[in-house]
């Protein structure tokens, strides 16, 4: 019913060929509907919508994001929710890069759109897609305020020493080159969940958050303030990811160009789409990799070893950066589900006060939970992330 959607927020996450959406109440967390449109602008596009306990898929031509949102709106209408007259509080947009300009949720107007457009050179794969989602929503739901929530925002105040690349200052400044950090909405939300779970104010807690999904990032948060994070100027730096390489010797990129004769766009594709776990063993889905490891597949085992090696490298670095660590938390698809990753990431660290309890680690739940032993000085937690809820709350808080 339309009345049920009054005060709800429509959260949109527009990728280059996909659009994820969720309609939810920011106060009660009730999710009224969600859906995903895939292969937008390509052959074989489809949209799946879930509402009232039903899941429907339509394989239909979706030439652009406008068409995808229009099709989603028809699904909503079929369930009695006319988004135009539903009295929505806001449309909340995930925007990947806020540059130096945006570090708070921002009500979108023409000026904000032109600034996000200007920043797009920093995130050429992401921001243009986010903008297409913004334009489509503004034209289809002109009476609902649109709010941008930036993935970089949480890391805006990174200390200079952590945010600075050791290159020529003039060049860096001219081209806005610095470490921005990403997945900020998740790191912010999860670190808040940790404080709530431990029953302590965020300001008192030093924590490491490990967001391990298809994209992956780690952060060190001292008293609620991020002091380091593994993603940098782009979401390519840091941990080994599903299809992204994470950290590399920058000389390797030059070598690929000079010796392997790859063009810049080919190197971009190689490092963003054909590297990480996929590059190492042909698979980027952790469930498949775990299955292959169980079947004795050497490439899958090797990829897993590289993944864990890099993860431990960051955990160690952040323990030193923080000095005292109160909590280490795993989140996102892999972090919430892959028991072995959690065990292997923290194995043998008893002398540092980190003891994972194997039985607690093996329990499955959708709730935040402790997996460390009672005698572990550091609380090791699993806390599900919820970026849609975080975006909806932030959008609702500032919508006019």
Closer by beta carbon to ligand ADP, 98 or else 242: 242
Closer by beta carbon to ligand ADP, 104 or else 287: 287
- Which residue number places its CB atom closest to ligand ADP? 333
Residue 254, SS3 per DSSP: helix
* CB-facing half-sphere around the CA of 12: CA atoms within 13 A: 30
Q: What are phi and psi of 250, to 5 degrees?
A: -60, -20
> Least distance (Å) from ligand ADP to the CB of residue 332?
4
> Least distance (Å) from ligand ADP to the CB of residue 352?
26
Cβ count near 260 (within 10 Å):
11
Of 55, 51, 47, whose CA–CA distance to 1 is shortest? 51
Residue 335 annotated as lining a ligand binding site: yes
Q: Using the 8-state DSSP alphabet, how is residue 85 labeled?
A: G
DSSP letters, 281-302, are HS---HHHHHHHHHTT-HHHHH
> Least distance (Å) from ligand ADP to the CB of residue 277?
8
Residue 20 annotated as lining a ligand binding site: yes
Residue 336 annotated as lining a ligand binding site: yes
Joined together, the tokens standing for residue 393 give: 């709350």
Q: Which regions of 30-129 does DSSP assign to beta strands (E)?
A: 31-38, 46-51, 54-59, 90-95, 106-107
- Chain residues that interact with ligand ADP, rule: CB under 6 A: 213-215, 242, 285-287, 290, 332-334, 337-338
Of 330, 324, 335, 339, whose CA–CA distance to 380 is shortest? 330
Q: How far apart are CA 292 and CA 295, in angstroms?
A: 5
The four Cα atoms 197, 203, 208, 213 give a dihedral, to 10 degrees, of 60
Q: How far apart are CA 261 and CA 53, in angstroms?
A: 52
Residue 153, SS3 per DSSP: helix
Residue 271 annotated as lining a ligand binding site: no
Residue 263 annotated as lining a ligand binding site: no
Q: How far apart are CA 161 and CA 23, in angstroms?
A: 40
Cβ atoms of residues 372 and 366 within 8 Å: no
Cβ count near 246 (within 10 Å):
23
> Least distance (Å) from ligand ADP to the CB of residue 338?
4
Residue 94 annotated as lining a ligand binding site: yes
Q: What are phi and psi of 157, to 5 degrees?
A: -95, 20
> Least distance (Å) from ligand ADP to the CB of residue 333?
2
> Least distance (Å) from ligand ADP to the CB of residue 283?
9
Angle, alpha carbons 279-328-161 (nearest 5°)? 75
Closer by beta carbon to ligand ADP, 208 or else 321: 208
Residue 13 annotated as lining a ligand binding site: yes
- What amino acid positions are annotated as catalytic residues? 151
DSSP letters, 11-46, are EEEE-SS-EEEEEE-TTT--EEEEEEEESTTSTT-E
> Least distance (Å) from ligand ADP to the CB of residue 217?
10
Residue 324 annotated as lining a ligand binding site: no
Cα radius of gyration rounded to whole Å, the chain: 21
Annotated binding-site residues for Mg(2+) read 13, 387
Annotated binding-site residues read 13, 20, 94, 211-215, 285-287, 333-337, 387
Annotated binding-site residues for ATP read 20, 211-215, 285-287, 333-337
């Amino acid at each position: 019913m339309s009345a049920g959607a009054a005060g709800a927020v429509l959260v949109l996450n527009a990728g280059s060929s996909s659009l994820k959406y969720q309609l939810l109440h920011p106060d009660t967390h009730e999710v009224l509907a969600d859906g995903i449109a895939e292969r937008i602008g390509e052959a074989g596009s489809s949209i799946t919508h879930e509402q009232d306990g039903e899941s429907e898929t339509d394989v239909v031509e979706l030439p652009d994001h406008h068409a995808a949102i229009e099709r989603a709106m028809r699904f909503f209408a079929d369930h009695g929710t006319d988004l135009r007259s539903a009295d929505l509080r806001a449309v909340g947009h995930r925007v990947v890069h806020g540059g130096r300009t945006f570090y708070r949720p921002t009500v979108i107007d023409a000026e904000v759109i032109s600034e996000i457009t200007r920043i797009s050179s920093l995130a050429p794969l992401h921001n243009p897609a986010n903008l297409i989602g913004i334009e489509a929503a503004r034209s289809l739901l002109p009476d609902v305020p649109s709010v941008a929530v930036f993935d970089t925002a949480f890391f805006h105040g990174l200390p200079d020493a952590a945010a600075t690349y050791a290159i020529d200052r003039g060049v860096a400044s001219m081209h806005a080159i610095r470490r921005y950090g990403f997945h900020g909405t998740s790191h912010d939300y999860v670190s808040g969940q940790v404080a709530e779970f431990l029953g302590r104010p965020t300001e008192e807690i030093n924590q490491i958050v490990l967001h391990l999904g298809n994209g992956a990032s780690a952060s060190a948060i001292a008293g609620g303030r991020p002091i380091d994070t593994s993603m940098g100027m782009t979401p390519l730096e840091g941990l080994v990811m599903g299809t992204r390489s994470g950290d590399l010797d920058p000389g390797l990129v030059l070598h690929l160009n000079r010796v392997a004769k790859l063009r810049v766009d080919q190197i971009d594709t190689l490092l963003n789409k054909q590297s990480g776990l996929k590059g190492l063993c042909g698979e980027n889905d952790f469930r498949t990799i775990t299955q292959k490891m169980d079947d004795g597949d050497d490439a899958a085992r090797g990829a897993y070893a590289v993944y864990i090696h890099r993860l431990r490298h960051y955990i160690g670095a952040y323990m030193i950066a923080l000095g005292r660590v109160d909590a280490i938390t795993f989140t996102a698809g892999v972090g919430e589900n892959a028991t072995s990753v959690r065990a292997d990431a923290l194995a043998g660290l008893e002398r540092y006060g980190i003891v994972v309890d194997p039985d607690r680690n093996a329990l499955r739940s959708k709730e935040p939970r402790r997996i460390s032993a009672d005698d572990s000085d550091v609380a090791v937690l699993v806390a599900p992330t919820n970026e849609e809820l975080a975006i909806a709350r932030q959008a609702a808080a500032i919508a006019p």
